[in-house]
Structure 1
Amino acid sequence: MAETGLPPGWEVRTSKSKGLPYYFNTASLESRWDSPEGTDPEKLKVFMASYHSSKADTSSQGSGGGDAIRAAHLLVKHEGSRRPSSWRENKITRSKDEAMEIIKEYERRIKAGETSLAELATTESDCTSARKGGDLGFFKKGDMQREFEDAAFALQPGEISGVVETASGLHLIER
């Protein structure tokens, strides 16, 4: 099997309910969405890109139904986030103000046409959806945090939100 970059005893599995990869420790039976401490982020990036990236496969999801939408996001966490760690950093120590400066610069670059949300999300998002260009797939009302959901459902297809704040951190959302 390819080198995952995960510490011994950890492996990547796929959630049956969400269809997303997560991390599982075969010894302790611990499971988590964020990579465990001791992960080599560069090796993990290569592994996830090779084995767990989505090529926009919607065949099993159809259109998501009439009340579901599909969106992608770029997440910048800060020390006050619900879980201040990510696949990129085991412990996030930036302040909320620093996170706001970072995401505002990402927003500027996207709106100026220098890059796309998907391109930036792949390398910069603190969410595990980064490996899918930030793609969260289809979701309905009630599936996401209220602030995120309200912003996502208010967008027209192809639109990108301004900065949206949730307990998880700061987001840019593209429908």
Structure 2
Amino acid sequence: MTTFSTSTTFPPLTPSSGLPPSWEIRLSRSHSIPYYFNTSTHESTWEPPVGTDSDQLKVYMATNYSYILPPGAAASTGAPSLQNKIRCSHLLIKHSGSRRPSSWKEKYITRSEDEALSILSTLETRIRNGDATLSELALTESDCGSARKGGDLGFFGKGEMQKEFEDAAFALQVGEMSGIVKTGSGLHLIERTA
């Protein structure tokens, strides 16, 4: 029989995800970013489910999904290779002509492309003036599901994003932000983070 001393210390526990019961975080094979899966109903969603503790989830995501592996680490750890991949965050403003004119914020997006351009231009000015960061604004303003992660899209390589987005992203230096980029999804500001 094993007994434990009252002075035994254990490694700190991983913070709770803050998700409601039956929900867990899984990693998308096609996008290499986390999504939410209900093990009871088999429902999956890019958005945190109703009842999630947002503050706990932010800590959990930062602890478990914000990592950069050194070159060559993927082969020894079984993790996907990050060679020739970059990491970006973006802020997306959709319009009625977007490929899918709806978002986590609005079921039906009816604004024109010109209105979307005006909104994004104002946000770009705020970022360039130092009034806010792209990730701060993405949390509340972006029409992409990545908004919950400050616009973080994770690592991606060539051929994984729309061509216009990819061309702009790969032209950036780490820490640099693009001008406004137009794709079939809408209008983006892109910041390269790694």
Q: Would the TM-score normalized by the shorter structure come out above 0.5?
A: yes
Q: C-alpha distance in 1, partners of 2:145/2:162?
A: 16
Please list every run of 5 or more consecutive structure 1 residues that lacks an aligned counterpart in the other structure: 5-10
Q: C-alpha distance in 1, partners of 2:109/2:47?
A: 12
The residue matched to 2:61 in structure 1 has which SS?
A: coil
Q: In 1, are the aligned partners of 2:176 and 2:191 still within 8 Å (CA)?
A: yes
- Structure number with bigger Rg: 2
1:122 equivalent in structure 2: 139
Q: C-alpha distance in 1, partners of 2:96/2:145?
A: 18
Q: C-alpha distance in 1, partners of 2:55/2:108?
A: 23
1:171 equivalent in structure 2: 188
Shift of 1:20: 2.1
CA deviation profile, 1:109-161 (whole Å, cap 9, x unmatched): 00011100010001111111111111111110011110000000000111000
2:67 equivalent in structure 1: 58
TM-score, normalized by length of structure 2?
Answer: 0.70
Q: In 2, are the aligned partners of 1:160 and 1:173 still within 8 Å (CA)?
A: yes
Q: In 2, are the aligned partners of 1:13 and 1:22 still within 8 Å (CA)?
A: yes
Q: C-alpha distance in 2, partners of 1:94/1:107?
A: 18
| Structure 2 counterpart of 1:57, one-letter code | S
2:167 equivalent in structure 1: 150
Shift of 1:12: 7.1
Please list every run of 5 or more consecutive structure 2 residues that lacks an aligned counterpart in the other structure: 1-17, 72-80
2:90 equivalent in structure 1: 73
Q: In 2, are the aligned partners of 1:164 and 1:172 still within 8 Å (CA)?
A: yes
1:8 equivalent in structure 2: none
TM-score, normalized by length of structure 1?
Answer: 0.76
The residue matched to 2:114 in structure 1 has which SS?
A: helix
The residue matched to 1:97 in structure 2 has which SS?
A: helix
Written as runs of structure 1 = structure 2, the 5 A alignment for 1:1-175 is 14-17=26-29, 18-22=32-36, 33=46, 47-48=53-54, 50-51=56-57, 54-55=61-62, 57-58=66-67, 61-62=69-70, 65-175=82-192
Flag the 1:123–1:156 CA change in 2: closer, same or farther, 3 A: same
Flag the 1:47–1:21 CA change in 2: closer, same or farther, 3 A: farther
> What is the root-mean-square deviation in Å for CA atoms of aligned residues?
3.0
Q: C-alpha distance in 2, partners of 1:89/1:12?
A: 25
* Pairs aligned (count): 161
Q: C-alpha distance in 2, partners of 1:146/1:49?
A: 35
Q: Which runs of 4+ in 1 moved over 2 A?
A: 11-16, 29-35, 46-54, 61-66
CA deviation profile, 1:34-89 (whole Å, cap 9, x unmatched): 79xxx9xxx67x64553366316215x54663311111000001111111111111
